[in-house]
Amino acid sequence: MNWPEFHHEAMATTFAILIADHPRDYARQAAASAFRELDRLESELSRYVESSDIARANRLAPGETMAIGDDALQCLLIAADVSLATYRAFDAAYASVRAPDQPDHAPLFTLDPASHTLTSHTARLHLDLGAVGKGYALDRMAAHLHEWDITTACLQSGGSTALALSAPAGHAGWPIGIGEGPNHRALSLTHVALSGSGIAVQGAHLIDPRTGAACPRTTRTWARARTAALSDALSTAFFVFSDEEIAAFCAAHPGIGGASAVSSTQLVTHGTLVPSL
Amino acid sequence: MSDTLSSSLTRRDFLSTSAKLGAFIAAAPYIARGADATGADQVNVAVIGCGEQGRILINAALKIPGVRFKAVCDIWPVNRNYAENILKKFGHDPKPFEDYRELLSTVKEIDAVIIATPDFKHAEHTVAALKAGKHVYCEKLMSNTIEGARSMVVAARETKKLLQLGHQRRSNPRYIHAKDKIVTGNRLLGRVTNITGEWHRAVSADLGFPAGKGLSEAKLAEYGYANMHEFRNWRWFKRYAGGPMSDLGAHQIDIYNWMLGVNPRSCMASGGVDYYKTHEWYDNAIAIFEYETKEGIVRATYNVLTTTSAGGGYHEYFMGDEGALKISENPKATKLYREARAPEWDEWTAKGVVAAPLSGEGAPPAVKPWEKVGVKKLAGPSKATVDVRETAALSAWDIPVTLDKAIHQPHLENFFDAVRKGTPLNCPGEAAFASAITILKINEAVAAQKTLTFAPGDFIA
């Protein structure tokens, strides 16, 4: 299993691409091309880049409308869908400041896919795609590799999301591990994304957007989904969810898997992660 | 599941799953028809050259109301298809062309053409578009030859059509503020005596292309390329481009000329192919200029390095006897410094010309007076004259202007405003010609290994 691996720093972390079954030089060129796409996406999606669509959206006055690029639109649509499906356990706009007369249930912003515009409806919009943008970038990079006829690859962003494409020749899938110590499990995955959320690496507590309070959970959660954008966003939602809410979500959404470390020796799994673990 | 991971497909799949919980219905609040922003007069546009830079310009132009893309042209289907696909997502229906001549003769309703082809094609494409009666926005460097650049200015003059060159910093509101309100206007730097500038870029491998998607040798030859490797890496070969000084330095040295309001009177330079084995153009070069301004001589240096990112990227640094301005398209690399001998800048802070240190968006929370770190003012006789601690950092002021658009958008807006309502161009052909001469003379100085002098007439097309 000596597959060529390529690295690139973007979005405040390190991305990596493993490519199997192609000559190394060709794999390197394709990976470099995918990383250029990643840099372009960062310039559109990062709230830290002054001229990005997201930074510009965060400077909108209440009621103001702006044109946005297709990637910002698609990523925000995914974020909005996940926010609604998780009843705001994931919310890319949770840090926004509502206008005093704005009802709690009113949307903070609206998107018009036909005209590629975003309208702010709040006193100060604060969009942060940090928990979905890296996954979205992995999906776009995979699509980019597909243009190079590369389908046997595994992509990851900062160790928190892995996107497995077709398996290398002679293998059932890409070897991907979750958990640590007695909780460590080895998976063999294809055509699926797996993301983890926790506080061990960055140290800070995650906020529950539904209450504004710090999440009581201290151990990691994982989400499995068909795309990296979804698994990225859902792993954050699962960290906010109770174990019962993760179970209910996975039961209601075929194709989604969830896991949580309930102790140093026990992983609880739901949905599509049950047979894997 | 298919290997293709289209985000839109993914979203639809997820929504159909979510709909079982009723979430699809709940999604409606996020989707609403936006305010109608199409009050602007429509300008019909074609793009010739849909590679990396062409895509940047397309994406920026898509955010400008009233711009409608009617045609795209690129000899490589990979680039052409990308441009078609992105434009169709925005409701445009551009006609695709391989040959620009067919585009210009077929699509009559075009008002303006954006040209982002390799440098050696700029003159040919620009002159043809101007003579076809179109206004032209052409990427820099104007041309890889003086004759080519001159022919573009002459064609614009003869056809009375607009020609804007892509030195986009000239339309960046932060650069305009720096020039009009800080350097020239209120003279916060005092007399400018020196300039340094740099663009340091880490090592990068040559570009490849997807298997099976290369152009045939005959097709490449038809359009002037030796082979697919040179087609993909044209910036490194002398028959197509002017090298790193032209690719990177042109943006910044153009700003030297623009900020000072004069062109240099001499140039010496050194550079070499010291690192890469597959390039014709030097991979690092250093130039030294002398400018003669009304206030005296300004000496300027410029480095372009393509084997290290040391120093953090790219900026221009204007230094005067009362202050210094470090400016970049990257706002994080933009700062102002006041010399100790200069008058205080409180007045300029109050007037919004500069922003006080550690203020503005993204600044850390205000520090209470008793929390400040630094050298205390001399106190009375019973107190210590100074509290000795680590060296205090110099105060760095900010420019209180935000670029609230894609980086290339203001320059494109300036061009389309000129087309629609006669707004003066920020970088017309004549101005860009002077910058092209400056850049091309650097390459001449590297080759000649001697100092070259300029006459004022050298900069006039």
Q: What pLDDT tens digit does each residue of chain B (461 aa) get?
A: 333 333 333 444 444 434 333 333 345 567 777 665 556 789 999 999 999 999 999 999 999 999 999 999 999 999 999 999 999 999 999 999 999 999 999 999 999 999 999 999 999 999 999 999 999 999 999 999 999 999 999 999 999 999 999 999 999 999 999 999 999 999 999 999 999 999 999 999 999 999 999 999 999 999 999 999 999 999 999 999 999 999 999 999 999 999 999 999 999 999 999 999 999 999 999 999 999 999 999 999 999 999 999 987 899 999 999 999 999 999 989 999 999 899 999 999 999 999 987 654 445 444 443 343 443 444 444 556 666 765 655 678 999 999 999 999 999 999 999 999 999 999 999 999 999 999 999 999 999 988 999 998 999 99
Whether B156 maps to a domain, the answer reads no
Contact A143/B405, CB-based, under 8 Å? no
Domain count, chain B: 1
| Any domain includes B372 | no
DSSP A20-70: -SS-HHHHHHHHHHHHHHHHHHHHHH-TTSTTSHHHHHTTPPTT-EEE--H
Burial class (CB in 10 A: 0-12, 13-18, 19+), A224: buried
> What is the rounded distance in angstroms from the CA atom of residue A162 to the CA atom of residue A232?
9
For B430, the enclosing helix (H) or strand (E) is helix B429-448
CB contact under 8 A, B62 and A67: yes
- B97 in any annotated domain: no
Please give the model's pTM, rounded to 2 decimal places. 0.90
B196, part of any domain: yes
Chain-chain contact of A114 with B404 (C-beta, under 8 angstroms): no
ipTM computed for the complex: 0.90
Give the model confidence (pLDDT) of A43-77 as tens digits: 999 999 999 999 999 999 999 999 999 999 999 99
**How many angstroms separate the CA of residue B90 from the nearest CA in chain A?**
7
Identify the residue whose tokens are 């006829």.
Answer: A149
| B28 found inside a domain | no
Q: Which residues contact B72 (CB under 8 A, 6 or more apart)?
A: B46, B47, B50, B80, B83, B84, B87, B94, B95, B96, B97
Taking the C-alpha atoms of residue B341 and residue B344, their distance in angstroms, rounded to an integer, is 9
Is A69 within 8 Å of B29 when comparing Cβ atoms? no
- For A24-46, what is the mean pLDDT? 96
Whether A81 sits inside 8 A of B62 (CB atoms) is no
Q: Which residue is it, tokens 């205090």?
A: B392
Which domain does B281 fall in, by range?
Answer: 171-360+389-406+429-459
Q: Does B293 fall in a domain?
A: yes
Alpha carbon of A181: minimum distance to chain B alpha carbons (Å): 33
Structure confidence at residue B379 (pLDDT): 42
d(CA B130, CA B112): 9
DSSP at B31: B
Look up tokens 């670029």; give the residue: B403
- Shortest distance between the Cα of B299 and any Cα of chain A, in A, equals 32
Cβ atoms < 10 Å from Cβ of B273: 15
pLDDT tens-place string over residues A200-227: 666 566 889 998 888 888 889 999 999 9
A150 and A22 in contact (C-beta within 8 Å)? yes
Does residue B154 lie in a domain region?
A: no
Q: Which CATH number fits the domain that encloses residue B291?
A: 3.30.360.10
Alpha helices in B163-281 (DSSP H): 173-177, 217-222, 228-232, 243-244, 250-260
The 3-state DSSP class for residue B352 equals coil
Residue B328 lies in a domain: yes
Least CA distance to A116: which residue of chain B?
A: B90
